[in-house]
Copies of this chain bind each other. A is one copy, B any other.
């Protein structure tokens, strides 16, 4: 199988990831629960993953890195723990339901009001809109780093500058960029960075987290066992424990730590260049095929390695099925949990077929995928 669904989850991981999970499964106790060797080993492994992530994202320190099950949980923790009644929040058309639905829920219960920066037909925003939408009660800008549908990247440094200038919180969904596009929390002025472990970070599923700038206070979402301060009626107030209740996914975090260590060794810039090389070749190969429509902004390559397209009026699900069954190429059709983005692109009915590349894909695989699209377009 040629796996081109890396924006959903990276299938191929470096060997060190599986090895780390395997070792953890055979030797690891419960992190922060007890002081015997295997519990301490677990605690050390978790701490070392925090260190690696803090380095990767230029987060303020390992204790500001909180582990969760996935980016959705991280976003729920941030969005439910930051705002007060009457706050106004700005988000964008590019968002995934993991951002939209928590915000909609807060809006529907009257907790916040919400404004959305629109995207045009290429999935691009006008950065002036962020500024224009700010009101006296605006508390935060919440946005993705890159659209999971088009691969368009938002200029975080620019948006972070606007947030900083107006004293706003800046919450970022880095699901599509963590590990494959450079992130510098400090330079970009990010208050809370939410990430998932199983995509660009090359870790196992069941991992993810938040990196939190110092001074940003998030109320606990889950509370419970903490391994420390057991006699306190309330969950410990200190990060990272403040936002981590119950036994951590020590086995998964060991794998995530190995994935991040691999990326630090390779360099995110090098990974990005490699992936973009593949995506660019694919884009060049398909963009002029008669009947093929490619979505997104390809006027520059500051983007992720995602190319979404349609062939004629074919349903994207049908095309994706044929690609899977006849060409053994895995892609993702449909709505991609990005309803507003599809509305902006005008693809709500048809959906789109998303090809997403990882550093483990090869130029040969790209050629086969181009060939498949060409053949399918001929049937149009």
Contact = CB atoms under 8 A, between A and B. Distances in A.
A57 to B, nearest CB: 20
A115 interface: no
B204 A331 contact: no
A38 interface: yes
Contact of A330 (B38, B72, B105, B323): B38
A295 interface: no
B73 A206 contact: no
Interface in A153-197: 196
Interface residues of A, number: 86
Contacts of A350: none
A36 B331 contact: yes
B34 A11 contact: no
B5 A246 contact: no
A269 B29 CA distance: 26
29 contacts: A3-B29, A5-B39, A9-B30, A9-B247, A11-B27, A17-B25, A18-B26, A25-B255, A34-B332, A35-B333, A36-B320, A37-B324, A69-B69, A72-B225, A72-B245, A72-B247, A73-B245, A97-B226, A98-B224, A98-B225, A99-B224, A101-B234, A101-B235, A196-B247, A204-B251, A205-B250, A206-B206, A206-B250, A206-B252
Given A34-B331, A206-B251, A230-B336, 20 more contacts: A1-B37, A1-B38, A5-B34, A8-B29, A8-B39, A11-B29, A29-B330, A34-B320, A35-B324, A36-B323, A73-B245, A97-B224, A101-B223, A101-B233, A102-B222, A102-B223, A104-B234, A206-B249, A230-B334, A231-B339
